């Protein structure tokens, strides 16, 4: 998981660099609406991921989860869910904090906030994507096993 976070941090830094070089800043977009939408969508994502985290231990007799534990994917799946929740939560907190700024003005602290927010947002998108990829990978691995049929 550390390798994935490191790679997503590099990708996020490149994306922030591209936005900075092409001068795509918060004054050229409706940033307040983006922040509001991020809070809404991030909260929904946190709810779904949190439900998955709480359901996994409760379903110990489920054949899929038994097979997932056997092939070693249970802890990886749980870790990716927790990281996904954490990154989405940080993104939501930053978005809520950003709504208190006067986004019509241009000043350095707001510009720094914009690029930090963009960096964290990209990491959270990739983290949630990794959760989905991990789930699909282990779903296929577990369903290909003869024990679950």
Q: Is the model more confident about 63 or about 120? A: 120
Q: How far is CA 13 from the centre of its chain?
A: 16
Q: Is the pLDDT of residue 138 over 50?
A: yes
Token couple for 113: 């906030």
Q: What is the pLDDT of residues 106-136, one digit of tens each?
A: 888 899 999 999 999 999 999 999 999 988 9
Q: How far is CA 33 from CA 36, 37, 51, in A?
A: 5, 6, 27
Domain ranges across the chain: 31-148
pLDDT (0 to 100) of residue 40: 97
Phi, psi values for residue 28, rounded to 5°: -90, -10
Return d(Cα 12, Cα 122) in angstroms, integer.
5
Structure confidence by residue, pLDDT tens digits, 66-110 = 888 888 888 888 999 999 999 999 999 999 999 998 887 888 889
């Amino acid at each position: 998981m550390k390798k994935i976070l490191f790679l997503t941090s590099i990708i996020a830094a490149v994306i922030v660099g591209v936005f900075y070089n092409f001068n795509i800043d918060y004054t050229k977009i409706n940033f307040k609406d983006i922040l509001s939408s991020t809070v809404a969508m991030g909260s929904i994502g946190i709810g779904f991921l949190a439900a998955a985290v709480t359901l996994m231990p409760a379903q110990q007799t489920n054949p899929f989860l038994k097979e997932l534990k056997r092939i070693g994917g249970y802890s990886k799946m749980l870790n990716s869910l927790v990281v996904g929740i954490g990154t989405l939560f940080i993104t939501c907190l930053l978005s809520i904090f950003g709504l208190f700024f006067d986004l019509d003005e241009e000043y350095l602290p707001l510009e720094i906030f914009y690029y930090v927010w963009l960096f964290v947002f990209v990491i959270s998108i990739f983290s949630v994507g990794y959760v989905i990829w991990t789930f699909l990978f282990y779903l296929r691995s577990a369903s290909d096993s003869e024990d679950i049929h």
